[in-house]
Structure 1
Amino acid sequence: MSKKMKSVYGDVKENYSFKIKLKSTILFIWFLILTIICLLPIYILIINATRSHTEIANGLSFIPGGNLGQNFKRVFTSPEYKIAYNALHGYKNSLFITCCSTFLTVFFSALTAYGIHVYDFKLKEISYSVILLVMMVPMQVTSAGFVSFMSDLKLTNTYWPLILPSIAAPAVVYFMRSYMKSSFPLDIVEAARIDGCGEFRTFLSIAIPMMKPAIAVQAIFAFIASWNNFYTPNMILISVDMKKKTLPMMVSALQSSDKFNDYGAIYLAIALSIIPIIIAYVLLSRFIIAGVALGGVKE
Structure 2
Amino acid sequence: MQDNRSSEKRPISIAENQTPAIPVLKAFIYLVMVYLGVLALLPVYLVFINITRSTPEINSGLTLLPSVHLLDNWRILNSTGFSLSRGFFNSFLIASLTSLCATYSSAMAAYGIHVYQFRFKRALWGMIMFVMLFPLSLSYIGFFRIVFSLRLLDSYIPLIVPAIASPVVVFFLRQYLVSLPVRELAEVSRIDGAGEFWTFNAIILPVMGPALATQAFFIFVASWNNFVLPYILLSDRKLFTLPMMAVLLQADIHNVEFGGIYLGIALSFIPAICVYIVASRFIISGITAGSFKE
TM-score by length of structure 1 reads: 0.88
- 2:65 paired residue number: 63
Q: Find the partner of 1:255 among 233, 250, 264.
A: 250
Q: Confirm or deny that 1:191 pairs with 2:188.
A: yes
Q: After superposition, what is the alpha-carbon deviation per residue over 1:245-275, rounded to whole angstroms, capped at 9, x for unaligned? A: 1111111111343265111111111111111
Q: Is the CA contact 2:182–2:204 (under 8 Å) kept in the aligned structure 1?
A: no
Q: Distance in 2 between matches of 1:22 and 1:183?
A: 38
Q: How does 1:112-131 map to 2 (within 5 A)?
A: 112-131=109-128
Q: Is the CA contact 1:86–1:243 (under 8 Å) kept in the aligned structure 2?
A: no
Aligned residue pairs: how many? 287
Q: Confirm or deny that 1:280 pairs with 2:275.
A: yes
Q: Is the CA contact 2:115–2:182 (under 8 Å) kept in the aligned structure 1?
A: no
Q: Distance in 1 between matches of 2:33 and 2:217?
A: 21
Q: After superposition, what is the alpha-carbon deviation per residue over 1:176-210, rounded to whole angstroms, capped at 9, x for unaligned? A: 11221233442222122222232222222332222
SS at match of 2:179: helix
Q: Which moved more, 1:9-18 or 1:162-171?
A: 9-18
SS at match of 1:186: helix
Counterpart of 1:70, as a letter, is D
Q: Distance in 2 between matches of 1:152 and 1:134?
A: 24
Q: Distance in 2 between matches of 1:51 and 1:183?
A: 52
Deviation at 1:12, TM superposition (A): 4.4
Identity %: 40
Q: Distance in 2 between matches of 1:187 and 1:19?
A: 47
Q: Which moved more, 1:117-126 or 1:198-207?
A: 198-207
Q: Is the CA contact 1:216–1:285 (under 8 Å) kept in the aligned structure 2?
A: no
Q: Is the CA contact 1:184–1:210 (under 8 Å) kept in the aligned structure 2?
A: no
Q: Find the partner of 1:74 among 73, 76, 101.
A: 76
Q: Distance in 2 between matches of 1:165 and 1:290?
A: 28
Q: After superposition, what is the alpha-carbon deviation per residue over 1:20-78, rounded to whole angstroms, capped at 9, x for unaligned? A: 322221211111111101100000110011111111110100001111111112212x2
Counterpart of 2:225, as a letter, is N
Q: Find the partner of 1:52 among 54, 72, 76.
A: 54
Q: Is the CA contact 2:114–2:178 (under 8 Å) kept in the aligned structure 1?
A: yes
Q: Distance in 1 between matches of 2:185 and 2:216?
A: 25
Q: Find the partner of 2:217 among 220, 236, 242.
A: 220
Deviation at 1:92, TM superposition (A): 0.5
TM-score by length of structure 2 reads: 0.89
Q: Is the CA contact 1:150–1:156 (under 8 Å) kept in the aligned structure 2?
A: yes
Deviation at 1:7, TM superposition (A): 5.3
In structure 2, relative to structure 1, the CA distance for the partners of 1:106 and 1:14 (3 Å cut) is same
In structure 2, relative to structure 1, the CA distance for the partners of 1:14 and 1:108 (3 Å cut) is same
Q: Distance in 2 between matches of 1:209 and 1:167?
A: 20
Q: Distance in 1 between matches of 2:248 and 2:165?
A: 30
Counterpart of 2:36, as a letter, is L
SS at match of 2:92: helix
- 1:296 paired residue number: none
Q: Distance in 2 between matches of 1:254 and 1:62?
A: 24
SS at match of 2:40: helix
- 1:205 paired residue number: 202
Counterpart of 2:20, as a letter, is F
SS at match of 2:152: coil
Q: Which moved more, 1:23-32 or 1:3-12?
A: 3-12
In structure 2, relative to structure 1, the CA distance for the partners of 1:168 and 1:16 (3 Å cut) is same
SS at match of 1:38: helix
Q: After superposition, what is the alpha-carbon deviation per residue over 1:185-241, rounded to whole angstroms, capped at 9, x for unaligned? A: 422221222222322222223322222222222222211211111111111112x1x
Q: Distance in 2 between matches of 1:103 and 1:173?
A: 14
Structure 1, gaps ≥5 residues long: 294-298
Structure 1 runs of 4+ aligned residues shifted over 4 Å read 290-293
Q: Distance in 2 between matches of 1:200 and 1:5?
A: 69
SS at match of 1:217: helix
Q: Distance in 2 between matches of 1:6 and 1:256?
A: 79
SS at match of 1:261: coil
Q: How does 1:1-299 map to 2 (within 5 A)?
A: 4=6, 8=10, 11-12=13-14, 14-76=16-78, 78=79, 81-82=80-81, 85-238=82-235, 240=236, 242-258=237-253, 260-290=255-285
SS at match of 2:153: coil
Q: Distance in 2 between matches of 1:260 and 1:216?
A: 43
Q: Which moved more, 1:29-38 or 1:3-12?
A: 3-12
